[in-house]
Amino acid sequence: MKQAIRQRDIDLIHGSLWDKLLLLALPLAATAMLQQLFNAADVAVVGNFVPDEALAKAAMGAVGGNSAVVNLLVNFFVGISLGANVLISQCIGMGDHDSIRRAIHTSIVVSVLGGLVMGLAGQLFVRPVLRLMLMPADVFDLAALYLRIYLAGLPVILLYNFEAAILRSAGDTRTPLLVLAASGVLNVLLNLFFVLALKRTVDGVAVATVASNAVSAGVLFFLLCRKTGDVRIDIKALGVDWGILRRILRIGMPAGVQGMVFSLSNICVQSAVNSLDSTAILAASSAAANLEMFIYSIINSFGQACTTLVGQNYGAGQLDRCRSTLKLSLRFCMGFFVVTAAVMLLFGEELLSIFNRDPEVLRFGMIRLRYILLGYVFTEFVEVLSGYLRGFGMSAVPALCALAFTCGTRILWVSFVFPKDPTFATLMAVYPVSLALTAGVIALCCLGLKKRLLPAT
């Protein structure tokens, strides 16, 4: 067992890069897609198996309408976990065994404590936040119930993400994928059990999601305890090293803020969606958002793979491999995006019908899909270039760009452009506009920082 687990770590500082990039990125994409299936399964089960049609639409809106709030919390700590990923990757490249050990054990403790604090504190703000988002009255109570249960599960949800980040720092992306695949099957089965057998709605699918995450976090913890080498957990060594935590936060906080900025801007847009006061639009937006996230998972996976590869090679002083990693990440990312976006556009209505077959829901869902996929052309550059900068430990630049040009543009759009033509299409147009601006500015920043990041050798 120990030997099998250890051999999944990939040597990222020697040999060809293209195969290592794919070995990192594709399991990352599959893992993110499985995580998205947790929410997609929730939406699909309540949309298709709750017997009352009106209640089914309301339940879909409640689950999907919460996605922006859930992502706000989770993305912040996923950003912090990226700080651990970068620090451990750089230490592996430098051969700093003591720092690797301290970073791993600090990360585990921070994830659990952070999840407990955020989960408990979040309970106080459930209803105020949903009111701020203009959640429709017929969806409000269901949305509040789902969010409360999800918040209670934050400790195990965040623990899984930190454990996965630790494994990724050593080049092991397969173990989190395999574990999540098993818990994903469990999630679907529990969804069906709670909704069909126990006649529950959003509370049942929320409990199923939390339980599945608890299983995946527990299994990864066990496997990390069984690993050999530096990247492993020793229960007796669990604790917070404040020096290491400061180094993790220096990288992870800006990444977390960047994730929160995207989520905050999406909450702003979601509030505008809610203001249209249409259950069909809310259900359509929920269904389309689940489909979009599968493509985003692919784009984001190349950004994260770029971070890990650049981090290790920068730590090892191999700057040429950092340059090559960026070029390969952009090329592969664009290729996979073109293929998956074409499939999504060609079979969009069929895919949306998995969640709900109402013609009005399908029509609005396709409007959202078209605008978001146009925006994802620019998201490739945002994610890969952000991941590239994080690999060098520079997280503040992409975070500031996201704050100013993603969040800022969306808030201004919702405040000034949308009220002049309050239609769903006008609202969705903010995505390609804001992402194009953000991508352009991050690209200019990378060019400006080129000499500092990669001095001539």
Average pLDDT over residues 127-155: 89
Split at pLDDT 50, 70, 90, the class of 39 is: low
Collapsed DSSP state (helix, strand, coil) of residue 410? helix
Higher pLDDT, 24 or 67: 24
User: Residue 347: its pLDDT value, please?
Assistant: 94
Cα gap 163→167, rounded to integer Å = 6
Residue 4 has pLDDT above 80, yes or no: no
Residue 275 has pLDDT above 80, yes or no: yes
User: Residue 289: its pLDDT value, please?
Assistant: 83
Average pLDDT over residues 131-157: 89
Cα gap 71→55, rounded to integer Å = 24
Split at pLDDT 50, 70, 90, the class of 5 is: very low
Residue 457 has pLDDT above 60, yes or no: no
Split at pLDDT 50, 70, 90, the class of 7 is: very low
Higher pLDDT, 3 or 296: 296
User: Residue 12: its pLDDT value, please?
Assistant: 81
Residue 69 has pLDDT above 90, yes or no: no
Amino acid at 202: V
User: Residue 8: its pLDDT value, please?
Assistant: 58
Cα gap 343→351, rounded to integer Å = 10
Higher pLDDT, 173 or 40: 173
The 8-class DSSP code of residue 317 comes to: T
Contact predicate 217/58, CB 8 Å = no
10 in a structural domain: no
3 in a structural domain: no
Cα gap 95→118, rounded to integer Å = 35
Write out the two tokens for 32.
């993110």
Highest mean pLDDT among 116-120, 198-202, 449-453 belongs to: 116-120
Instruction: Quote the domain boundaries for residue 79.
Output: 19-453
Cα dihedral 228, 231, 235, 238, rounded to 10, equals 160
CA distance to 122, 212, 308, per residue, from 169 (Å): 30, 24, 6
Number of structural domains (the chain) is 1
11 in a structural domain: no
Among residues 201, 67, 60, 55, the alpha carbon closest in space to that of 130 is found at 67
Cα gap 22→392, rounded to integer Å = 20
Among residues 163, 159, 129, 164, the alpha carbon closest in space to that of 146 is found at 129
What does the radius of gyration of the chain's CA atoms come to, in whole angstroms? Answer: 21
Cα gap 364→321, rounded to integer Å = 45
> Which positions ≥6 away from 421 have C-beta within 8 Å?
none
% the chain with pLDDT above 70: 95
Collapsed DSSP state (helix, strand, coil) of residue 247? helix
Taking residue 294's Cβ as centre, other Cβ atoms within 10 Å add up to: 18
% the chain with pLDDT above 90: 45
The 8-class DSSP code of residue 318 comes to: -
Cα gap 382→305, rounded to integer Å = 14
Residue 284 has pLDDT above 60, yes or no: yes
Among residues 49, 65, 54, 56, the alpha carbon closest in space to that of 286 is found at 65
318 in a structural domain: yes
User: Residue 302: its pLDDT value, please?
Assistant: 94
Write out the two tokens for 367.
């409007």
Split at pLDDT 50, 70, 90, the class of 328 is: very high
77 in a structural domain: yes
Please state which of the ranges 153-157, 174-178, 217-221, 411-415 shows the lowest mean pLDDT. 174-178
Split at pLDDT 50, 70, 90, the class of 455 is: low
Residue 35 has pLDDT above 90, yes or no: no
The 8-class DSSP code of residue 289 comes to: H
6 in a structural domain: no
Cα gap 308→390, rounded to integer Å = 9
423 in a structural domain: yes
Split at pLDDT 50, 70, 90, the class of 38 is: low
Average pLDDT over residues 362-387: 94
User: Residue 324: its pLDDT value, please?
Assistant: 94
pTM for this prediction = 0.76
Higher pLDDT, 446 or 259: 446
303 in a structural domain: yes
Mean pLDDT of the chain: 87
Cα gap 3→10, rounded to integer Å = 14
